Structure formats: C-alpha cells, structure tokens
Structure 1
Amino acid sequence: MARLKKITTRTRRQRLMTRLGTGGLAVIGAVALALSGCGSPAGRQASTPSSSAPPGGTRSPSGPVKYELAATIPVGKGPGGVAVDPGTHTVYVGNLDPDSGNGTVSVIDGSTRMVTATVPVGRRSDALAVDPGTHTVYVVNNSDDSVSVIDGVNKTVIATVAVAPGPYSLAVDPGTHTVYAGSSDPHGGAGAVSVIDGSTHAVTATVPVGKYAGEVAVDPGSHIVYATNSGDDTMSLIDGSTHAVTATIPVAHWPKAVAVDPGTHVVYVATIDPETAPHDTQPPSRSGRVSVIDASTRTVTATIPIGKDPDGLAVDPGTHTVYVPKYANDTLAVIDGATRAVTVTAPLVPASLGHGVAVDPGTHTVYVSSFNDGTVSVIEPR
C-alpha cells in the first residue's frame, strides 16, 4: 500500500497542475532573495531591476552570499525542465502545456534574457539536457515515449528517438556524447534507462533499473550513471561503458531528483518523507531531505533536512553549491557543498510551483521554472 500511495500522490499532483494551468496568481515583485528587503515590482515582461549588475552574478569577496531575483522571463505554458548550454549561455525550457499537451522548448539568450525561439516538440515535453560539445539539446516527450533532438545552432528538431515507455528525465555524458533517458512504464512502473548514441541518434541499449525510475544524472569523470527509483527507495548505478547495473544503493523515502558534482564526485539525492497530512491538503505537507553520497564508497555520508517537497536539484561545479527548488512553499534551498548545510532558503515567485532548476557555471546564474505562471526566474548570487 505504501508504494501505491506514492504513485497516487504523484498522479494527484499532476492532476492539480493540469487544473491550475498557467493562469495562477500574478508574478509578484523582483524580490531580494537573501537577508535583504524587496526590490521594485516586476510584471510579465522580462526585466532586471535598475540596481542589478549586468547578467551573470558575481560573488562578494567576503561575507555571506546573497541571492537576488534579478528577472522573470515569460516562456510557454507549464514550464518544467530547464537546461543551460555553458558555452553559449543559452537557456532551454521544456513547456508541457497542460491544456493541449503540445510541447515546446523556449530558447532564452542568457545575456539579454529574451526568448529568441520557441521550438515545437512532442507531447508532454518536460526534462531537457544539453551536450555542450555539440550544442545539441535533448527533450523528453512523455506522452509520445520519445526524445526530441534539437540543433542548438539552428534551433530546429533534427531527430526524434523512440525510447522506453514513460520517459521522465535526461542526462548527457559530455565526454562520450551519450544520452541517458530515464523511464517509468505507466503500466506497472517498471523502470528503464534508454542509452542513446549522440552521433547516430540510435538507442544502443535499454537498461532495466528499479521500480518507478525517476531522475538520472551522469558523473562525466567516471562515466557512471545514477538513476533514482522512487518505488524502491533506491538508486541504481550504471557503468557507462558496459551499460550494466553495478550497484543498487538504498536511499531515503521516495527519491525525487539526483545531481552530481563533477569536481568532488559527490552525488546528491533529494527525497521526500512519507506524507504527514491528509490527501486533500493543498499543498501536501511532506518534509524533504538531501542525501549526500560518496561515489567512491557508495555510501550516504550525510542527510540534510531542507523543508517541504523538493522537486529538483542542480549543482554549480565552480562553487560546489547545490540548489533545490521546493514547490510546496515556493522557496529555493541553497546548500554549501563543503559544510553540507543549508545557507539560505530564498523565496521564489509566490504560488508558482517552482520545479526545474539549472545553473550556468560561467556566470553562476540560477534558472528556476515556474509552472503556474509560465515564467523562468533568474536568480543571481551577489
């Protein structure tokens, strides 16, 4: 019954999102996301408060890092996944459109904070990943059981790849140009990871993993793929060269998201505790944690409480900072990778259902999608 409750909750949240659409509450303000006060109001137009520095935050030479909501950028309906091409500072956002189901990808120029193109893809598109070496963008189409391949230069779809049923997440190994698509079969929950050759756009292997597989991440140094299994409360480790599962690590209840710090080879897994509120509570009250895993020993070395309902993870490899959006209370938890402590819990746009998160490692700018109001928040460290 515990497993059924997990899936019921997840499906229920999806139904809630569909009912809410993107009409939600209006965007409120350019908010100072640290220990300081509020900035001037921001509307639906992409805008930067006049006091802000040029795009690309810079860290203060001393003292605590502060975070500012520097701009909100209107994108498509129901934005979810976010990815950044660090070479071009281009941001890609998957929009699933809860009304029609027709997916698009919004292409944002990170320097001007303007949408430069909207690329039609498959149905219920969400998660994205970028190969920085080829400037190729990959996006899952959940309802089509496929992955769309986008040429980042021409901003056009150049291939559509059929993958295992229920694709949910993506990761790219930039060294081998291999793409990994995590899937959870909607009929029974069998998890699988489809392995795609980035040069031929062909599936070269399908690796069975645990039940209700969720997110995938790659360590580019070791070429190990990490796949969370929310139905088993485990994480599968896949050898990128043999495409075989080499280990299965127990983690906390309902692993939701995973990310790797390539510099330290530390793996971060966001999990959600069992529900502590009735099913009709909006939003549900579920405490979240981030498990810290040493990749060399494959053991959990720390568990960090972060508050309600984490729904994504991103690591800044230059600062070893971890970012976790929490959709229940519209905040962003900021974790210091060295101290393994939450240093800031920064407010996001109210009633936005913050979901996808990505970091530009060159500018240290953080991008968080807002499902309800169809925007992307641009957050800069100061």
Structure 2
Amino acid sequence: MVGLVALVSLTLPVVAAPSAVADPSDFLYVANSTDGTVSVINTTNDTVGGTTISVGANPRGVAVAPNGTKAYVSNNGSNNVSVINTADNTVSANIAVGNGPRGVAVTPDGAKAYVVNSDDGNVSVINTATDSVTGTITVGTTPVGVAVTPDGTRAYVANLSGNSVSVIDTATDTVSSTVTVGSNPSTVAVTPNGAKAYVTNNTSKGVSVTNTATNAVSTTISVGANPRGVAVAPNGAKAYVVNNGANSVSVTNTTTDAVSSTITTNIGTGPSGVAFAGKGPCLAGRSAWRPGRTPCAVG
C-alpha cells in the first residue's frame, strides 16, 4: 500500500526548516487545531520547518492552490480563512467567512476556493485572485466536507446533520441538486474520472456511491463502524475508507463497489483521515500537499 497515509492524531516535532531548493511539490501543510498553527513538512527528508505558521483559532481544513502559490486554511474558532504565501510561508490575508468553517477545496483552475461554514449551513465562495468572498451558497444542515470534481464543474458538500449532499454548479455558484445519503455524512471523494462521488456516512456504517451524471445514489457499501475519511486511489481502481469506530480500513473495488478486503493490522485507535501521496485532484482536510504530489482526499 505504497502512498497511503493515515492521518490520526498527529503530533509534529519541530526538526528543521525545509530546504530552499526543494521542489514546490515536496511540502505538506498540516493544520494543528489546538495550537492555531500550521506545520510545514518537507517530504524529501520528512522534517518539519523550524517555525510553525500562526493562523486563526482551531484551524480545521487546508487546501493548496493548483499552482502551489497559496494555501487556504479554514479557522473554525475565528470564523475566517488564513491565506498562506507558500513562497515564504507567511500569512498574506485573513478572509472573514461564515460561522464554524470546516472543509475547504480549491477548483482545478485555481480561480475559486469553497469553504463550508458548519454553523451557518452555507458555503463561502472565495475569489483567489483578490482573496475576497464573492458569494455565499445555502446548502444543508451542518456542512463539513467538500470536494470539487476534476473538471471543476461541480462541488459536492456533505451535510452532516442534513443526511444529504448538496451539489454546487461552480459556473453559477448555486445548488443544482441535493442527494439524500446515509446518516451523518462527513467526507466526500470523487474518482479521478469524475464519474462517482463516495460519501462516508458516519453513523450508518455505510458509504453512499453517487453517480455524478445523475446525482443519485447508485448503491450503498457496508463498511466498518463510524466511517470518516475516504480516499480514491490515483488510478481510480480502489477507494479506501477509514472506520473510526472499528480501527480499520475498508478497501473498496470501484468497479463493483464492493469491499474487497479490510485492513486491521497496524491501524491505530480512532483513525479519522486518509490520503494518497500521488498526483490527482486535491480534496483537502487537515493537511494538504503543494501540487505535484497531491492527496486525492483527506479527512
């Protein structure tokens, strides 16, 4: 399982600053919710920068622009988004959004960032050229996760308390469809070909598979207890589902949409997120790569 990373309860030691000559794709940005900071990991030598980046209160999500120049950090406790200039790892702007921001995703063309505001039931749309909010989209109750399709035409928002997924048309920034899924959906991952969206249902032990052409659930996959994070392999062949309550990972065949195996060996207690270190669409959670080796999803 080369390239699969489980993000559990990560404590990051401060070791050394990333090399100034390292490739831009070799940095991983990790939001430290308790500290109100972001750590930068140089993945060429797996060391952490000597100084963390101070952002807002309780940072929960990170998404890096496709060109690698900016990282957007949603601060759940201060109701804003910190914009990190990745050239010097300083905060260039703090953008006020709604209440309780959680997930954040940047479109493949880098033009917009979508930030879900859990307490308000809406999504803030950020123009990344000006780093300002250009609109607010009403979605379901308690939105927490967001993913943009590889072609950039739609954003899928998981509404935790609404048991639904809101589908946003990114051209008009309006909700074009609402998909009923299982109980307490939290994370969304879209396949590299854009054909399916996998939604973890935290309290119903299932993953809803949404056909993105019809925006209807085609099947529900039974997995372990309290599925949280989900990541699709860069080649699109498998989806990996992290089961928080079962301390396991369900491996799903994306052709048959059935669990092919369950991994329990060397899985820690309470796993909550998962990411692939490989090229592909970025669906960001508490950590994000600068593009080049972008995780397909994180929880």
Bin the TM-score by the shorter chain. Answer: 0.7 to 0.9
Which of residues 140, 149, 156 in structure 2 aligns to 1:210?
140
Amino acid at match of 2:97: V
Deviation sequence 1:181-224 (CA, Å, 0-9, x none): 00122xxxx40000001111100001011111121111131520
1:103 matched to 2:36? The reply is yes
1:91 matched to 2:28? The reply is yes
2:206 and 2:221 in contact (8 A); partners too = yes
Q: 1:68 to 1:152 in 2, by over 3 A?
A: closer
Greater CA drift, 197-206 or 328-337: 328-337
Q: Which residue of 1 aligns with 2:230?
A: 313
1:104 and 1:125 in contact (8 A); partners too = yes
Q: Which residue of 1 aligns with 2:20?
A: none
Which of residues 208, 213, 221 in structure 2 aligns to 1:296?
213
Q: Which residue of 2 aligns with 1:152?
A: 86
- 1:89-238 to structure 2, matched below 5 A, reads 89-97=26-34, 102-117=35-50, 118-185=52-119, 190-238=120-168
Deviation sequence 1:146-182 (CA, Å, 0-9, x none): 1111122322211111101110111110214310000
Q: Which residue of 1 aligns with 2:251?
A: 334
1:233 and 1:252 in contact (8 A); partners too = yes
Q: SS at the partner of 1:194? A: strand
Return 5+ residue gaps in structure 1 as ranges.
1-32, 34-56, 59-66, 77-85, 274-286, 370-382
- TM-score, scaled to structure 1: 0.65
Which of residues 169, 182, 187 in structure 2 aligns to 1:239?
169
Whole-angstrom distance in 2 between the partners of 1:137 and 1:348: 34
Q: Which residue of 2 aligns with 1:359?
A: 276
Return 5+ residue gaps in structure 2 as ranges.
14-22, 287-299
Whole-angstrom distance in 2 between the partners of 1:109 and 1:347: 29
- TM-score, scaled to structure 2: 0.82
- 1:253-264 to structure 2, matched below 5 A, reads 253-264=183-194
Whole-angstrom distance in 2 between the partners of 1:355 and 1:348: 16
- What's the RMSD between the two structures over aligned residues? 2.9
2:5 and 2:274 in contact (8 A); partners too = no
Deviation sequence 1:320-362 (CA, Å, 0-9, x none): 4322222223322222222322233223766543223222224
Amino acid at match of 1:316: A
Larger radius of gyration: 1
2:156 and 2:165 in contact (8 A); partners too = yes
Q: 1:308 to 1:246 in 2, by over 3 A?
A: same
1:230 and 1:254 in contact (8 A); partners too = yes
1:263 and 1:317 in contact (8 A); partners too = no
Task: State the aligned residue count.
Answer: 273
1:73 and 1:114 in contact (8 A); partners too = no
Whole-angstrom distance in 2 between the partners of 1:144 and 1:88: 29
